[in-house]
Amino acid sequence: MTGPLNSLKVLDFSTLLPGPFGTLMLADMGADVLRIESPTRPDFVRLLPPSVNGVSAAHAYLNRSKRAMALDLKQPEGIEIVHRLVGDYDIVVEQFRPGVMDKLGLGYEALKAINPGLIYCSITGYGQTGPYRDRAGHDLNYLSIAGMTGYNGRRDSGPAPMACQVADVAGGSCHAVMAILAAVIHRQQTGEGQYLDISMTDAAFSLHALTAPGALVAGEDPELEGTKLNGGSFYDCYRTSDGRYLSVAGLEPQFFSRFCEAIQRPDLTAKGLSFSPEVVDEVKGAIAEAIGAHPLEHWLRVFADVDCCVEPVLSFSEAREHPQLKARNMVVSVPDGRGGEQPQVASPFRFSATPVGYRFAGVGLGQHNEEVLREQGFTDEEIARLRGAGALG
């Protein structure tokens, strides 16, 4: 593998989205990621439609470039395999509820005894401590507890789910990768490994970058359509006459002035900075009336050469064909392991000296069992014993 992380070796015990998306980033950047899956309880992502040649497209993307082993961790022989792997794979990512890995004999202290330099990252909904540590949850729950869902939506319809999994990905995945890479730097300097406790709720709470300061210092609790960025100003989406939408985001005075000139409402320019609800409603109503008078194509022509932060709201299929994303090669073809290729979203990372790479799309359950065991020095007799004991799926 190419990439800046090609010296890292990661054991990935995670399923669903947060852990797998995080280890996808690591794999794209060159890390050797080995997924450890249960042979009896499949990762739900493997079952998500649509499928291509029997493989879920979501699974093929989230697990590209990762090798796969199927181990029954309820069998002592399965634990034996992991213990041997940890001597070589010195980063662990897991996403079980607190205490599960300890009960299996695969907790941080047990594996640290084998490899003192181990970096061990646990991703959970609420973290390893606190009254919610054992509580079940999903992305919407974490965002709700973190106070983010409370001001995402419309006053007349109430809070709404977000379109992408912010707590899972921006919270769990991205924060896990940042923490792991920080721990790698620490280990390079000191030789020490460490344990990383990533709470998706904590991470979501930390994302209140512009609203938390006011809420904490001045008691200004953000509300639905109550901030400049959640519909409480002209910064919003407006329907065109043909049922499409334009995103209008020119908060700075120079941008808003150009926008008002373009829609032939220069009289609105002086009102754009007001945060008075009455004035905001007036401005938004006037913008909606102007935008709603013409179809999207008209506005695309109007704003083609006007620098004022106005863009069309695109569907995913339109976005993938947008000239900017095409110029950035944000859709790539990845070998599917069966002689074909599959289109996938590219890595967003750009390195001048160590480019990212894509080895293969996500593979079948346990596809690399024997390959990995032989690399680790297991003999034919040992592999046969492990298979006979039911440790290998």
Whole-number Cα distances in Å, 179 to 66, 91, 160, 333: 20, 12, 30, 30
Q: What is the pLDDT of residues 3-60, one digit of tens each?
A: 999 999 999 999 999 999 999 999 999 999 999 999 999 899 999 999 988 899 999 9
Please compute, for residue 151, the number of CA atoms within 13 A of its CA located in the half-sphere on the CB side: 21
Collect all residues with Cβ–Cβ distance below 8 Å to 240 and sequence separation of at least 6: 246, 291, 292, 294, 295, 296, 298, 299
Instruction: Determine the Cα–Cα distance for residues 12 and 21; give it in Å rounded to an integer.
Output: 11
Q: What CATH number has the domain spanning 9-207+326-388? A: 3.40.50.10540
Share of the chain above pLDDT 90, in %: 96
Q: What sign does the CA torsion over 106, 112, 118, 123 have?
A: positive
Q: What is the pLDDT of residues 68-85, one digit of tens each?
A: 999 999 999 999 999 999
Whole-number Cα distances in Å, 317 to 26, 205, 309, 313: 27, 32, 22, 12
Q: Which residues are catalytic?
A: 138, 168
Q: Band the pLDDT of 348: cuts 50, 70, 90.
A: very high
Cβ proximity of 257 and 309 under 8 Å: no
| Angle, CA of 118, 102 and 84, to the nearest 5° | 45
What's the token pair of residue 97? 């509820």
H/E stretch holding 193: none
Share of the chain above pLDDT 70, in %: 100
**Which residue, among 172, 161, 160, 157, has the nearest Cα to 205 in the 3D structure?**
172
Structure confidence at residue 69 (pLDDT): 98
> Whole-model pTM?
0.95
Q: Helix 380-388 and helix 76-86: axis angle, to 10°?
A: 140
At residue 183, the 3 state secondary structure works out as: helix
Structure confidence at residue 53 (pLDDT): 83
Collect all residues with Cβ–Cβ distance below 8 Å to 227 and sequence separation of at least 6: 151, 210, 211, 233
Q: What is the pLDDT of residues 156-212, one digit of tens each?
A: 999 999 999 999 999 999 999 999 999 999 999 999 999 999 999 999 999 999 999
pLDDT of 255 > 90? The answer is: yes
Q: What is the dihedral of CA 162, 165, 167, 172, to 10 degrees?
A: -170
Instruction: Determine the Cα–Cα distance for residues 320 and 343; give it in Å rounded to an integer.
Output: 11
CATH 3.40.50.10540 in the chain, residue ranges: 9-207+326-388
Lowest mean pLDDT among 98-102, 266-270, 273-277, 295-299: 273-277
Structure confidence at residue 4 (pLDDT): 97
Q: Band the pLDDT of 321: cuts 50, 70, 90.
A: very high
Q: Helix 174-190 and helix 18-28: axis angle, to 10°?
A: 50
Mean pLDDT of the chain: 96
Peptide bond preceding 98 in cis form (omega within 30 of 0): no
Structure confidence at residue 51 (pLDDT): 92
Collect all residues with Cβ–Cβ distance below 8 Å to 136 and sequence separation of at least 6: 125
The three-state DSSP-derived secondary structure of 256-291 is HHHHHHHCCCHHHHHHCCCCCHHHHHHHHHHHHHHH
Instruction: Determine the Cα–Cα distance for residues 201 and 18; give it in Å rounded to an integer.
Output: 12
Please compute, for residue 349, the number of CA atoms within 13 A of its CA located in the half-sphere on the CB side: 19
Q: Band the pLDDT of 1: cuts 50, 70, 90.
A: low
Q: Please classify residue 285 by burial: count the beta carbons closer than 10 Å to its beta carbon, then call 0-12 exposed, 13-18 middle and 19+ buried.
A: exposed
Collect all residues with Cβ–Cβ distance below 8 Å to 270 and sequence separation of at least 6: none
**Which residue, among 74, 83, 71, has the nearest Cα to 112 in the 3D structure?**
83
What's the token pair of residue 386? 């492990």
| Angle, CA of 45, 47 and 49, to the nearest 5° | 95
Cβ proximity of 336 and 59 under 8 Å: no
